[in-house]
Amino acid sequence: MRTKWREVRAFPRYAVVGILQNASLYCLTLMLLWSGWSAWQAMLLLYPVGVAASFAVNRLWAFGDRARRKGQFGKYLLVYAAAYPFAVFFTRTEEQLGMPSWLASLGAMAVTAAILFLVLNNWVFGRDRLP
């Protein structure tokens, strides 16, 4: 039961962090698009910035994990490293299918965020993991 309550609390907090972070990154994306960049190029540049900025806030506040666990940051980076090419590829595919760049960026952010929450909650910050 404790795990379920933690998940119920974690999701809205993760959403707040994600919305604020992604809104900031989306504004930067729009500036790059207006400067002549494509959405996938903006994603290529800004994705690592978002990953670096979000670890501490997600760990300390969203998932409420104040314990220092060996390898936790490495797992976090691994999850985002795996999601990174997916996000760039997904954005590029959406653009190639004719979706406007601004909408392709939003779509990729939404799909990637949902997948990331599940993995972060259950593997990286999960307290009740199987050994």
Residue 130's pLDDT is what? Answer: 37
Other Cβ atoms within 10 Å of 18 Cβ, number = 22
Q: Which residue has the tokens 């119920």?
A: 8
Radius of gyration of the chain (CA): 16
Residue 64's pLDDT is what? Answer: 77
Residue 129's pLDDT is what? Answer: 42
> Going residue by residue through the chain (131 aa), what tens digit of pLDDT does each one get?
455 656 677 889 999 998 898 889 889 999 999 999 998 899 899 988 888 888 888 888 888 766 667 888 899 999 999 998 998 899 999 999 999 998 998 899 889 988 999 999 888 887 554 33
Other Cβ atoms within 10 Å of 43 Cβ, number = 26
Write down the domain spans for the chain.
2-124
> Letter for the amino acid at 130?
L
Q: Which residue has the tokens 């604020």?
A: 20
pTM over 0.75: no
